[in-house]
């Protein structure tokens, strides 16, 4: 189901052609599930289980930001005790802009492992978690919005805790408190 359409316009200075305008168009969806196996609010979760795609299990949900993923990918990858990791699409895109293809491959490997019950969440095209700015701190704000959405969404499922893994704790705590 397609929702609203957003447009980002950016101007870049090229060496040969002078000033160039770049327009990025996105259609925001409203039907992206949280992928938690106990959630009854998202009807698409049953489709994930039927197709054999990973679902988040009961317990703590961990959402790492860009700095944690880029700095501690080996720990995230080799510690099989860390389950229920939700990697945001904005984190993967930020790693791509930094030419961290090996790290992206490791993130996708963690998400594909059924024992890890982890996933890549499409926050860039989800209506409730999309961030519509081009600020330098946009990636961190997008991850914080996903954490706030998961916390609000899974408060209805008893016993679910959402933890934002970040190296910038004070700003994140202020954001999560003010947006809940």
* 75-118 tens-digit pLDDT: 999 888 899 999 999 999 999 988 899 999 999 999 999 888 99
From the list 63, 21, 55, the residue with the least C-alpha distance to 36 is 55
| pLDDT confidence of residue 75 | 92
Task: Evaluate if residue 47 carries a pLDDT over 70.
Answer: yes
**106/129 Cα distance (integer angstroms):** 24
Question: What is the maximal distance between C-alpha atoms in the chain?
Answer: 58
- pTM (2 d.p.): 0.81
Cβ contact 33:48 at 8 Å? yes
Q: Which of 64, 74, 92, 78 is nearest to 150 (CA)?
A: 64
**Residue 168, pLDDT above cutoff 60:** yes
Q: What is the pLDDT of residue 2?
A: 55
Confidence of residue 70 (pLDDT cuts 50, 70, 90): very high
Q: Whose CA is closest to 24, among 129, 143, 104, 134?
A: 134
Residue 5 pLDDT: 65
Residue 6 pLDDT level (bands cut at 50, 70, 90): low
pLDDT digits (tens, 9 = 90+) for 124-167: 889 889 887 766 678 888 999 999 999 999 887 766 889 999 88
- Give the CA-trace dihedral at 37, 47, 25, 137, to 10 degrees: 10
Q: Is the pLDDT of residue 63 over 90?
A: yes
Whole-number pLDDT of residue 180: 52
């Amino acid at each position: 189901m397609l929702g609203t359409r957003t447009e980002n316009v950016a101007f870049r200075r090229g060496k040969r052609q002078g000033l160039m305008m770049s327009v990025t168009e996105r259609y925001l969806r409203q039907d992206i599930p949280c992928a938690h196996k106990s959630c009854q609010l998202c009807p698409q979760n049953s489709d994930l289980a039927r197709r054999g795609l990973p679902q988040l299990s009961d317990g703590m949900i961990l959402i790492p930001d860009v700095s944690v993923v880029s700095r501690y990918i080996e720990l995230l990858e080799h510690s099989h005790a860390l389950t229920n990791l939700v990697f945001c699409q904005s984190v993967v895109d930020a790693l791509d802009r930094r030419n961290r293809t090996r790290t992206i491959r490791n993130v996708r490997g963690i998400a594909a492992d059924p024992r890890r019950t982890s996933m890549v969440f499409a926050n860039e095209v989800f209506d409730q978690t999309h961030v519509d700015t081009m600020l330098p701190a946009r990636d961190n704000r997008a991850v914080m919005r996903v954490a706030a959405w998961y916390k609000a969404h899974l408060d209805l499922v008893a016993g679910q805790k959402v933890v934002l893994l970040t190296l910038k704790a004070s700003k994140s705590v202020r954001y999560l408190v003010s947006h809940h």
